[in-house]
Homo-oligomer: A and B are copies of this chain.
Amino acid sequence: MPLVRITREVHFSAAHRVFNPEWSDERNQEVFGACANPNWHGHDYRLYVSVEGEMDRDTGFVMDFKDLKSVVQSRVVDEMDHKNVNLDVPWMDGLIASAENIVVAIWGRLVDRLPEGVALAKLTLWETPRHYVEYSGE
């Protein structure tokens, strides 16, 4: 059966602050600039979750899009939407709240929650409408 990649978009609105707790305020301000604002700022993150597998002969599906959305909703969106990435998300503890660290942490939330025969292929996380990060598990 053909190997097809399928992608579902979700989004969540969250506050964050990019800073290194081991550094002084001056060093954080110097390196991260406005992103280190102690009073936080925020984004409407858009996440594209891509999974890959052979099409099932009986359904014509790699995986039901409703099931894919459901996994991403419970494992990621419910945990991040209307939350503070630094304070409210246990699986971001000890990590700098950069888009890079968020996308890698989301990978860990999803990689072993997919049906047999379906592999997590790529995550694309837009932090603003102008820039995004991608992670493929390497």
Which residues of A come within 8 Å of B, CB atoms? 2-9, 11, 13-16, 18, 20, 31-35, 37, 39-44, 46, 50, 55, 58-62, 64-66, 81-84, 87-88, 95-101, 103-104, 128-136, 138
Contacts and interface: CB of A to CB of B under 8 A. Distances in A.
A129 to B, nearest CB: 6
Which DSSP category, helix, strand, loop or mixed, fits chain A's interface? mixed
A101 B42 contact: no
B2 A135 contact: yes
A76 to B, nearest CB: 15
A37 to B, nearest CB: 5
A13 to B, nearest CB: 5
B81 A34 contact: yes
B60 A103 contact: no
B42 A133 contact: no
A33 B18 CA distance: 26
Contacts of A64: 31
Nearest to A22: B58
Residue from the set A3, A11, A82 with the largest chain B CB neighbour count within 10 Å: A82
Contacts of A31: 59, 64
A27 to B, nearest CB: 10
Contacts of A95: 60
Contact of A20 (B59, B129, B138): B59
